[in-house]
Chain A
Amino acid sequence: MNRGDVLAIALASALVGALYAHFWQPAVAATHVELRVGGVDAGRYALNEAREIRVDGRLGPSVLKIEDGRVRFLRSPCRNQVCVHSGWLQRGGDAAACLPNRVSISLVGGDVPLDGIAY
């Protein structure tokens, strides 16, 4: 590598960085969690109220915890505890599931895309 290469790489990196900064948009914070058991809707909860939700799955109760605009599996009667280890979820589109217990959650929001606002 010579100085020219270094310069070319530096320029290209700077350009990529600038484009990234310009076009990247932060993930939208979710407003709700949708709950499903065996793929069937089992409720929708706002993330702005702290609470624990107990939901009965195939093996027994899974417990979800909502706090500070996020949600996580707190306990689940499964062996491997993958769902509990998924930790806190807070962005729209995030999801977690306890497959053995057939309980899944997915996060929706922030804003529903609207075509117009009456005011």
Chain B
Amino acid sequence: MKLPESPHLRLFLRRLALGIGLAVLFTWLALRQPQGEDARLLHEEFLAMGTIVSISLYLGEDQDRADALMALDRARDELMAYAQRWSAWGDGELGRLNQRLAEGERVSIPAALQPLFAQAAQLTHASGGLFDVRIGRLVEIWGFHDEAHYRSTSPDPATLDAAVAALAQAPMLDAAPLAYGPAPAVRFDFGAIAKGDAADRIVASLRAAGYANVIVNAGGNLRAAGRRGARAWRIGVRHPRPNREQRVLATLNIDGDEAVITSGDYERYFEADGRRYHHLLDPRSGQPARGLQAVTVVAPSGALADAASTAIFVAGPQRWRETASALGVDQVFVVDADGRIEVTTALAPRIRFADDAAVTTVR
């Protein structure tokens, strides 16, 4: 390139080049990849199972980012297949099973679905029916299965009562279910256990690929393994009635391998006539369970914590403790209708609540 004749213009161009060079340098400084600790943290987020699923990985010293991203992609693909398989209203294995059930057939349960069916049957038995995967028809009547078309009024009582009565008459699941039905009133909905189970599977699959430090958040159903470098994973539990200053009700550290799962009346709900109608239905009445705002369970398995938090929520303020012990979970806290917290002795020492929270420790 030929330099311009004018010395003024040449000086200007030199200074301009210097100025732009400095600006580029500062931009680079501001945007460059974080070094050290944070450079080893990988994060991916995607939509699945009607919610946002996020996975964070903390890489070991000798692990490569690109390899880890590929492992995350594989985990996402597995999760997509899992979501398809367990969708109650889709056209995967469970969706097709539900369709045949609705047509009055007796259905055999595909081998891939049997383990979670068996676990669900066991949890239904242990919870005295408070956790029940057969309630799909009730969920449908309330419209909680369809995020796009929430109701704004409670459903017709006659329709609901008939569905509740039909569910009470329908056969229970066998302990090791291979087949079910005929039971046209039943539609299986694994929504209260599948996200926890999915989180377990992602953790297991990433571990098998050599990634021991993982945190999976499947729509608020949190499952962690390992640690975040030099410190434990730090988990917050959402405040059931958040305000501007306070969005997190409690925090705890997870060092090892645990799930933290909350069931709350704020997740899917509508309000009508000054009442809140939420998605945690009592299978015995067909109505949203009353008396608690939220239940949080900390347990080694996501599937267990997920199902247990639902059953304990449905059990309500008077019976939550016996339901928890029947399900074999001892680290639990519940928030009652007035915002008061009860926490078990096993969880109390390791969890920290907001300063103004009214907390009672219970056996």
Among candidates A4, A5, A118, residue contacting B238 with C-beta atoms closer than 8 Å: A118
Residue of B nearest to A10 (CB): B19
A38-58 residues with Cβ-Cβ distance < 8 A to B are 46, 48
C-beta contact mask, B278-293 vs A, less than 8 Å → 1, else 0? 0000000000000000
B174-225 residues with Cβ-Cβ distance < 8 A to A are 215, 217, 220-222, 224
Known A12-B19, A118-B222, A119-B220: A19·B235 in contact at CB below 8 Å:
no
Among candidates A4, A23, A32, residue contacting B11 with C-beta atoms closer than 8 Å: A4
B264 at the interface (CB under 8 A from A): yes
Stretch of A59-67, A79-87, A108-116 lying at the B interface: A108-116
A27 at the interface (CB under 8 A from B): no
Give the A-B pair count, Cβ closer than 8 A.
91
A115 contacts B215, C-beta separation under 8 Å: yes
B331 to A: closest C-beta gap in Å: 13
B15 contacts A114, C-beta separation under 8 Å: no
Residue of B nearest to A111 (CB): B248
C-beta contact mask, A88-119 vs B, less than 8 Å → 1, else 0? 00000000000000000000000111111111
A21 at the interface (CB under 8 A from B): no
B235 contacts A117, C-beta separation under 8 Å: yes
A25 to B: closest C-beta gap in Å: 11
Known A5-B11, A15-B19: A117·B220 in contact at CB below 8 Å:
yes
Among candidates A32, A48, A111, A118, residue contacting B296 with C-beta atoms closer than 8 Å: A118
A100 to B: closest C-beta gap in Å: 31
A11 at the interface (CB under 8 A from B): yes
B23 contacts A114, C-beta separation under 8 Å: no
A119 contacts B234, C-beta separation under 8 Å: no
How many of chain A's residues touch chain B, expressed as a range? 20 to 34
A43 to B: closest C-beta gap in Å: 12
Q: How far is the CA of A115 from the CA of B227 in the complex (A)?
A: 11
B234 contacts A113, C-beta separation under 8 Å: yes
B235 contacts A119, C-beta separation under 8 Å: no
Q: How far is the CA of A4 from the CA of B9 in the complex (A)?
A: 7
A117 contacts B238, C-beta separation under 8 Å: yes
A16 contacts B222, C-beta separation under 8 Å: no
B261 at the interface (CB under 8 A from A): yes
A1-41 residues with Cβ-Cβ distance < 8 A to B are 2, 4-5, 7-9, 11-12, 15-16, 19, 23, 31-32
Among candidates A8, A32, A48, A114, residue contacting B236 with C-beta atoms closer than 8 Å: A114
B220 contacts A118, C-beta separation under 8 Å: yes
Most interface-central of A4, A16, A19 (chain B CB within 10 A) = A4
Contacts of B30 in A (CB 8 A): 19, 23
A117 contacts B248, C-beta separation under 8 Å: yes
B235 contacts A115, C-beta separation under 8 Å: yes
B12 contacts A119, C-beta separation under 8 Å: no
B56 contacts A115, C-beta separation under 8 Å: yes
B5 at the interface (CB under 8 A from A): no
Residue of B nearest to A113 (CB): B234
Known A113-B234, A114-B236, A115-B56: A15·B11 in contact at CB below 8 Å:
no
Among candidates A4, A114, A118, residue contacting B8 with C-beta atoms closer than 8 Å: A4
Contacts of B83 in A (CB 8 A): none
Known A4-B8, A11-B19: A118·B215 in contact at CB below 8 Å:
no
Known A19-B27, A118-B262: A46·B356 in contact at CB below 8 Å:
yes
B19 contacts A118, C-beta separation under 8 Å: no
Among candidates A8, A32, A117, residue contacting B12 with C-beta atoms closer than 8 Å: A8
C-beta contact mask, B143-168 vs A, less than 8 Å → 1, else 0? 00000000000000000000000000
B11-35 residues with Cβ-Cβ distance < 8 A to A are 11-12, 15-16, 19-20, 22-23, 26-27, 30
Contacts of B301 in A (CB 8 A): none
A116 contacts B26, C-beta separation under 8 Å: no
Q: How far is the CA of A118 from the CA of B264 in the complex (A)?
A: 10
B109 to A: closest C-beta gap in Å: 31
Closest 3 CB pairs of A and B: A4-B12, A119-B220, A12-B19
6 contacts between A and B (CB under 8 A): A4-B15, A112-B236, A114-B248, A115-B235, A118-B217, A118-B220
A residues lining the B interface (CB < 8 Å): 2, 4-5, 7-9, 11-12, 15-16, 19, 23, 31-32, 46, 48, 111-119
